[in-house]
Amino acid sequence: MPGDRSTDPVMYVFLRRDLNMPPGKAAAQACHAVHQIVNTLSVMVEDAELPDKGEVNFLEWEGGSYAKVVLGLKDRADRDRLVARLDREKILYHAVVDEGRTVVAPGSETAIALQPLDRETARLLFSEYRLY
């Protein structure tokens, strides 16, 4: 029987629904966002720049299941509200801005990946969002 994972940190990724990205494009954008936030967090841990709770969550996430949840954003306004909340709560994130070579217009912000958070904090902050 698997152990209780309710306290394991989870990385949340948000994708914009209004851009109507095909599944492959959406997956690629989510991967870009995750790759960038992991790189940023790794450097911050190495340089001792990540706040204690953030470092603990990141190291537990990195050494554990790499759990991720992908949620949808309705549109740019929904994205702006999310970013304002992340800034207010001091949650680190990386936003992907697409070059526009294939499906979306150049400069479109397609995905946002967050630092790993404990599940309870995430539930309180993101309960209004639905799976992508």
CATH code for the domain of 21: 3.40.1490.10
Below-50 pLDDT ranges, the chain: 1
- The domain tally of the chain equals 1
pLDDT at residue 20, as a whole number? 97
Q: What is the DSSP string of 76-123?
A: HHHHHHHHHHHHHHT--EEEEE---SSSS-TT-EEEEEE--B-HHHHH
pLDDT at residue 80, as a whole number? 97
Strand pairing category for 93-97 and 109-114:
antiparallel
What tokens appear for 12 in the block? 């949340």
Strand pairing category for 11-16 and 68-73:
parallel
pLDDT at residue 1, as a whole number? 42
Where in the sequence is the domain holding 100, given as residue range(s)?
11-126
Could you read off the pLDDT of 31-55 as tens digits, one per residue?
999 999 999 999 998 888 877 777 8
